[in-house]
């Protein structure tokens, strides 16, 4: 079998980690990088003499017309990435993406297009970095009837909150620290406000419950207002504060409850123990009970692991059938509980008052 030919869109943090894995000593069998698209291809090509066998371009048409079998989309953002993924599928290529905005917004449509084209659209990297939650929910637990997901899905916010807790510093100082370590963007508002976690939670609602939900329909309270005093209060109750994404589905009433907020969690539970840019999730099924997953939620290398895993799945079986999802709309979508006091009963954790 000839190796899988891969063209990359976007030579940024994630893209360069993928290139590193595909071209350095620790390369991956059956995968070969043939092309790189980047808006600044000219400049970047000069800096990377070791990639001289790869075709560099800043014209997307070149990639679509190339002999690549798979496109890795690491551009980010909804537009133009979503259109490029569509065009790649129409050009007969499979696509691997780390783009939660595209999947949350256009995933259903694009997955249907991929199925029609007999190609694959895989997106393990869109949620939880290297933590294999897309496979766990969509495949490994497909045999259960899932009813709830509670998760830390945003590594940036988790790094900021756990830093404040550990050092007693201000949020501004914690944000600067996260930026220095490469865990936070220049403007971390999309992370703190919950937009990033809402997009990921919307995708998980599709995978876990078969529901069509947009990120905007998920209630959110920003973590930007959390103070050191909040941590002190939480500590007195053996708790700490984390940004959680929550979704539960009552199928009989077709009612989804979903929100993202910073809440108090027990210090020694799975969420309290999740520090830095880690992610963690508890997935509850009627038959299996609670299943936990955790791992590096951000960073180029961790995200590249998820992308390479998806590429290997395609290399293993290029004609694999990945059926298009058939999603339904829930009759009702609820946000925070009317009491504003968010409590859950589980074996593992208890959410005290929402901060």
Q: Which stretch binds a copy of itself (CB under 8 A): 71-79, 193-201, 226-234, 263-271?
A: 263-271
Q: Does residue 13 touch a copy of itself according to CB under 8 A?
A: no
Q: Does residue 9 touch a copy of itself according to CB under 8 A?
A: no
Cβ within 8 Å of residue 111, ≥6 positions away: 121, 322, 324, 325
200 labelled catalytic:
yes
Binding a copy of itself by CB under 8 A: which of 2, 143, 229, 338?
143
Q: Which is nearer to a copy of itself, 169 or 288 (CB)?
A: 288
Binding a copy of itself by CB under 8 A: which of 306, 333, 351, 355?
306
Q: Which stretch binds a copy of itself (CB under 8 A): 67-75, 82-90, 212-220, 297-305?
A: 297-305
Q: Which stretch binds a copy of itself (CB under 8 A): 8-16, 62-70, 190-198, 288-296?
A: 288-296
Cα–Cα nearest to 164, from 173, 151, 155, 153:
173
* 211 touches 173 (CB < 8 A): no
Q: How far is the CB of 110 from a copy of itself (least distance, A)?
A: 18
Provide the mask over 319-338, with x wherever binding to a copy of itself is found by CB under 8 A and - wherever it is not.
Answer: xxxxx---------------
Q: Does residue 35 touch a copy of itself according to CB under 8 A?
A: no
Binding a copy of itself by CB under 8 A: which of 102, 307, 333, 354?
307
Cα–Cα nearest to 96, from 18, 206, 152:
18
Residue pointed to by tokens 């939650």:
133
Q: Does residue 250 touch a copy of itself according to CB under 8 A?
A: no
Q: Does residue 145 touch a copy of itself according to CB under 8 A?
A: yes
Q: Which stretch binds a copy of itself (CB under 8 A): 65-73, 80-88, 107-115, 284-292?
A: 284-292
Q: How far is the CB of 335 from a copy of itself (least distance, A)?
A: 29
Binding a copy of itself by CB under 8 A: which of 285, 325, 336, 350?
285
164/225 Cα distance (integer angstroms): 12
* 110 touches 97 (CB < 8 A): no
Q: Does residue 288 touch a copy of itself according to CB under 8 A?
A: yes
Contacts with a copy of itself, residue ranges (CB under 8 A): 21, 26, 28, 124, 129-132, 135-136, 139-145, 268-270, 273, 280, 285-296, 301-302, 304-313, 316-317, 319-323, 348
Residues catalogued as catalytic: 200
């Amino acid at each position: 079998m000839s190796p899988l030919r891969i063209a990359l869109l976007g030579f940024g943090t994630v893209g360069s980690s993928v290139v590193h894995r595909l071209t350095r000593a620790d390369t991956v069998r059956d995968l070969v990088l043939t092309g790189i698209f980047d808006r600044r291809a000219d400049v970047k090509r000069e800096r990377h003499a070791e990639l001289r066998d790869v075709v560099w371009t800043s014209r997307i048409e070149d990639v679509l017309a190339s002999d690549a079998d798979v496109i890795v989309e690491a551009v980010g953002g909804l537009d133009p990435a979503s259109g490029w993924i569509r065009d790649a599928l129409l050009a007969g290529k499979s696509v691997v993406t780390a783009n939660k905005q595209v999947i949350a917004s256009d995933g259903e449509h694009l997955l249907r297009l991929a199925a029609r084209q007999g190609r694959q659209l895989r997106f393990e990297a869109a949620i939880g970095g290297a933590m294999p939650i897309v496979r766990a929910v969509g495949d490994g637990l497909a045999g259960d009837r899932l009813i709830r997901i509670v998760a830390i899905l945003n590594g940036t916010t988790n790094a900021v909150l756990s830093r404040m807790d550990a050092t007693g510093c201000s949020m501004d100082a914690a944000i600067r620290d996260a930026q220095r370590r490469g865990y936070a963007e220049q403007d971390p508002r999309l992370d703190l406000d919950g937009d990033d976690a809402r997009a990921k939670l919307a995708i998980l609602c599709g995978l876990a419950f078969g529901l069509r939900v947009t990120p905007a329909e998920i209630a959110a309270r920003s973590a930007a207002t959390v103070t050191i005093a909040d941590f002190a209060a939480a500590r007195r109750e053996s708790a700490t504060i984390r940004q959680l994404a929550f979704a539960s589905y009552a199928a009989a009433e077709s009612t989804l409850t979903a929100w993202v907020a910073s809440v108090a969690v027990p210090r020694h539970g799975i969420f309290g123990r999740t520090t830095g840019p880690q992610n963690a999730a508890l997935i509850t099924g009627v038959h299996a009970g609670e299943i936990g997953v955790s791992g590096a939620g951000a960073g180029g290398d961790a995200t590249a692991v998820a992308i390479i895993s998806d590429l290997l799945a395609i290399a293993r079986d290029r004609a694999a059938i990945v059926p298009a999802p058939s999603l339904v709309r829930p009759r009702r979508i609820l946000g925070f509980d009317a009491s504003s006091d968010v409590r859950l009963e589980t074996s593992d954790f208890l959410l005290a008052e929402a901060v």
